[in-house]
Structure 1
Amino acid sequence: MNTSTTFPRFIAAGEALTDLIRGDGDAWHAKVGGATWNVARVMAKLGIPSAFAGAVSRDCFGDELVEASRAAGLDLRFLQQNAHSPLLAVVHQTNPPAYFFVGDDSADLHFDPAQLPAGWLSRDIWLHFGGISLARPRLANTLLQLARDARAIGAKISFDPNFRVLMNEDYDPVLREMAQLADVIKVSDEDLRGLFRTDDEAAAFATLRSWNPQALYLYTRGAAGASLYHGDAHWQQTPPQMKVVDTVGAGDASMGGLIWSLMQHPQADGATHLRHAVAAGSLACTRAGANPPEAAELCELYKVLSATLLQTG
């Protein structure tokens, strides 16, 4: 348990929400979620003292997110509850996915960094951003300032845009500034097509890298594997042959696996970090829902992948 003077090493700031998923007929199912919240859970499962910094509602939806955060071992000092409405993702069709968000003045928009524990922000932490939180102007302004403050004191910043339908032309300046602030950026092929509104993924990725050439980039392509880019060097890795249950949370797990590797093995090369990222994402696909791996199984699969890494560049 954290004391009043001990803070998490990893903090994800953004949205925690409830997915309302339509099943057969008129049946609806509620599931806790949120891209940034999921990454905080991944890091906690991997044994890193972690927190989610954001706000949820003071009702059945918010209470469930608080309890799920507690069960995940997150530091609850960073999770705020207020009397505003819940943020909901209404998934009215699953194949192919079709969804929209409900939350015009919802709790997440009222997140207040001034209410976080005094002295929490230091150069010794990782701070993660992404998801739809940065596509919601009021919250985006708050989070961008938080990222600027973190950059100013030398804290590490990771960023996974995680493209959603809210990210139109109005999101472009936020995308560019966050990319320029980040030390580590994860993006998928689907993200690139959506964020840059193009089918030319290579050109979109080149544009993204041009905004921050010094950053470390994790580029994932589903079953085709992933690549890691840093300066002029890059590494490629195909995933292992495993039975896929679903891909929910795989991207968040791979982001967590990469950050965990960077934190645990800061002197290692890109090959090592990429193996951990791919191992974490692959393990997430072997179980239903956003169910991240533990460090022991991550390390075991890492050993398997070690023999298949290809480095180029």
Structure 2
Amino acid sequence: MTPAAQDRALVVGEALIDEVVRPDGSRERHPGGSPANVAIGLGRLGRAVDLLTWLGEDSDGDLVRRHLGSSKVNVLTGDRSATRTPVATAKIDAGGVASYEFDLEWDLPSSWDDAEGDPLVVHTGSIATVLQPGGAAVERLVADSRPRSTITYDPNLRPVLMGSPSHALPYVDALVRLADVVKVSDEDLAWLHPGVAPAEIAEQWSQSGPSLVVVTHGGEGAFACTSAGARLQVVAPKVQVADTVGAGDSFMGGLIDGLWTAGLLGAANRQALADADTAVLQGVLERCARIAAITVSRAGANPPGADELL
């Protein structure tokens, strides 16, 4: 395994065009997609990151590639590609909260030009893990990668595309069991397990495979638990909210980056992650909350760079 490969992250999942419809009816089009936003967050925080995704060879795909490249995300080239670049429409309400409609297909190439060796961390989540045929390919890739890389996962559920909770649940449970770190929103858990307290689900998940499970509560902060039995809480900084687009993705990117800085990523550090000091994890989560607060204070999925956190 080359040192260069072990200094990189691999993000697997959708990149697309977000069409944002504001309360006044105005529209904006810009690149998005949950995993792509996580990759951008990592790139802006100074991490080397590859994105394995499914874009069309069209003008929208070119726009997405340029956007990713501007944040130093390397988009892997595969042996085949989408017939058209996916589009998601985000409708913003008066409170700045987004709801989504999608027009997309999802798959993975059969082969791609990845770096020699294995990445330090493999991240996936959202549409890419449920929508078929690509969802099954993502699960296989994650299972194959787990012996050599840390696995991080954010369900980031989209009911419009994923059908009923009973349909999505087997896909989510399979990825949770494979993951070392899971970040999930309280809204996702309320849809997936209605009537069950988010902390209860997080603690169940932390005993099924992951060393760390984090539940975000929007402007109220986040709760986390570990497989060793620790519980942590962080408060979100108070900011003027422009919109919530990309907030969870920026938190996820910050979580990967923070664990990376703490030396807790990589298969060789799996036990260290399981045994991580709660003070270290608290510091990581507080920084994640700052990153998400900066993101919601400005329009669109626009995570901060490392210099903005100094």
Q: What TM-score, normalized by structure 2, do the two folds share? A: 0.83
- 1:76 maps to a residue whose letter is V
- 2:303 maps to a residue whose letter is P
Number of aligned residues: 288
Which of 274, 299, 304 matches 2:285? 274
CA distance, structure 1, for counterparts of residue 89 and residue 233 of structure 2: 36
Alpha carbons 1:20, 1:89 under 8 Å: kept: yes
1:292 corresponds in structure 2 to: 303
Which of 119, 137, 141 matches 1:142? 137
Taking structure 1 as reference, are residues 161 and 24 closer, same or farther at Cα in structure 2, changes over 3 Å only?
A: closer
Q: Does residue 39 of structure 2 align to residue 40 of structure 1?
A: yes
1:161 corresponds in structure 2 to: 155
CA distance, structure 2, for counterparts of residue 239 and residue 80 of structure 1: 43
CA distance, structure 2, for counterparts of residue 27 and residue 252 of structure 1: 24
2:224 corresponds in structure 1 to: 228
**263-272 vs 178-187, which deviates more?**
263-272
Taking structure 1 as reference, are residues 88 and 127 closer, same or farther at Cα in structure 2, changes over 3 Å only?
A: same
Q: Percent identity?
A: 28
- 2:114 maps to a residue whose letter is P
Taking structure 1 as reference, are residues 83 and 225 closer, same or farther at Cα in structure 2, changes over 3 Å only?
A: closer
Q: 1:178-214, CA deviations, whole angstroms, 9 ceiling, x for partnerless residues?
A: 00011110011111112224464344434433433x4
CA distance, structure 2, for counterparts of residue 232 and residue 283 of structure 1: 31
1:215 corresponds in structure 2 to: 211
Alpha carbons 1:185, 1:217 under 8 Å: kept: yes
Q: Does residue 179 of structure 2 align to residue 185 of structure 1?
A: no
**How far off is 1:5 after superposition?**
9.3
**180-189 vs 6-15, which deviates more?**
6-15
**How far off is 1:84 after superposition?**
0.4
Alignment of 1:187-206 (within 5 A): 187-198=184-195, 200-206=197-203
CA distance, structure 2, for counterparts of residue 258 and residue 92 of structure 1: 27
CA distance, structure 1, for counterparts of residue 183 and residue 202 of structure 2: 11
- Structure 1 stretches of 5 or more lacking a match? 301-313
Which of 115, 120, 126 matches 1:131? 126
**How far off is 1:221 after superposition?**
0.6
- 2:292 maps to a residue whose letter is G
Q: Does residue 243 of structure 2 align to residue 242 of structure 1?
A: no
1:13 corresponds in structure 2 to: 12
The root-mean-square deviation of aligned C-alpha atoms, in Å, is 2.6
- 1:67 maps to a residue whose letter is R
Q: 1:61-118, CA deviations, whole angstroms, 9 ceiling, x for partnerless residues?
A: 1111111111111113357873502212134674575432212xx3x42x21522336
2:83 corresponds in structure 1 to: 84
**How far off is 1:265 after superposition?**
1.5
Alpha carbons 2:81, 2:109 under 8 Å: kept: no
**190-199 vs 129-138, which deviates more?**
190-199
Higher RCO (C-alpha 8 Å, min separation 6): 2
- 1:158 maps to a residue whose letter is T
Where 1:86 maps in the other structure, the secondary structure is: coil
**How far off is 1:155 after superposition?**
0.4
CA distance, structure 1, for counterparts of residue 24 and residue 254 of structure 2: 38
Alpha carbons 2:80, 2:110 under 8 Å: kept: no
Q: What TM-score, normalized by structure 1, do the two folds share? A: 0.83
Alpha carbons 2:183, 2:213 under 8 Å: kept: yes
**How far off is 1:139 after superposition?**
0.6
**How far off is 1:26 after superposition?**
7.3
Alpha carbons 1:56, 1:79 under 8 Å: kept: no
Alpha carbons 2:68, 2:75 under 8 Å: kept: yes
